[in-house]
Amino acid sequence: MPRWLMVLAAVCLLAGTPRVLAQPAQQYAVDGLAVGARIPFDRPAYREYKCGPSDQFDGFMWCQKTRQEKERRGKFSSTYSILHSGGVAVYIDRYLEPAFFGAREAEDDIQRYSRKLGEIARIARMPHRADFPNGILASWGKVELEPLDNDTITALAEGRDPTTKGYLVDFIGDFARSAKERLPIYRISGGAGFVWVASFDQRGLGTLRLTAVDASVLALTTTPSAPIETAESAKEKDAIANSTNQLSRGEAYQKSAGQTKIDAEPAREDAEAREEAVRARADIDKAAATQRAKVWPLAATAQLTTPPTQATTVNPPQIQVVRVKPIDPAAPKVRFQLSDGSVDLTRGFSLGGFEGIGGVWKMPPTDEIFDARFGRW
């Protein structure tokens, strides 16, 4: 076979293989197999797996095996699951039931994984229920746990397949029961990481699940595949496409015309504003000219008909000093008299004051009656 043909075949093979980790996240591992590592199918432990195409992710292989194991506290069942593409693992899971836990074994196990991974665990606990065991969940890395939507929970409670793709995790290891009892169920998303989840009762019996995954690789393959088209459906699709294109061109033309109209609107408004300003200025100038035409003839007529103002001669006041002749004491007493002495007319005074008639009040009293003094009335 020519060398160039071999290279082309290799390129085509790579193009048809889903992309996996650019750099293996080998710190996240289950039972010695890390995410991003190549699976050694030639070893006896991996020959036990039964593999087939994944029913969720196109281009991936799903492998699983179940083993009966035991430890000093008893027997248990382990189910191992692997999702890989081209022999590179992207999801490794181990589920143990029953699992045995001591008084603080769950917390100690989480701390051991934190020290091994060099990360702090994100811990969540199951809401306490009287008839349910205790549940605890820990996660590391960039993996995220998204709570399921109500439609998916309802489907699980009714025994149907989930409405969304992806791998799930719950606290008790029973999705149907968790959905019926409305216990938390999560979908694994995000990036590469590790998930540890366990449940146990008062006796220390329960379940344990260990998961290493790179969910970012799975997110690239969740696009649903296109349905197979028949000849009639293809014709109908072409007719719809032609109608859509015609509508699109019509809408584009209307949009372009509308945009042109929108662009021209500000210029038209500016021109109208300038014309309005010019008209207003012309009206103001016309009104001012009319007012001047009315005022100027009146001012000219007033200047012609108004006689010249003649100067008024002002005579300055003349002040004279009059000396009052004193009254002879021997003469009959006149009760109405001015006071003795000179009266300065330049000063303000009252005839009823001391300088005038009022001075008579200083005259000595008399015993004459009114008639004798002033005559009968």
pLDDT tens, position by position, 61-101: 999 999 999 999 999 999 999 999 999 999 999 999 999 99
| pLDDT at residue 295 in the model | 46
Cα 230 to Cα 221: distance, rounded to the nearest angstrom: 25
- pLDDT digit string (tens) for 299-326? 444 444 445 445 455 555 565 655 555 5
Looking at residue 248, its pLDDT comes to: 45
Q: What is the mean pLDDT of residues 202-212?
A: 96
Q: For the chain, what are the domain ranges?
A: 21-219, 335-377
Per the CB < 8 A criterion, the answer to whether 222 and 166 are in contact is yes
pLDDT band at 141 (very low <50, low <70, confident <90, very high): very high
What are the percentages of helix, strand and coil residues in the chain, rounded to 5?
Answer: 35, 25, 40
Provide mean pLDDT across the span 144-171: 93
Query: Is 259 or 95 the better-scoring residue by pLDDT?
Result: 95
How far apart are alpha carbons 342 and 332 in whole angstroms? Answer: 22
Distance CA 215, CA 254 (A): 46
CA 52 to chain centre: 49
pLDDT tens digit string along 20-55?
444 445 589 999 999 999 999 999 999 999 999 999
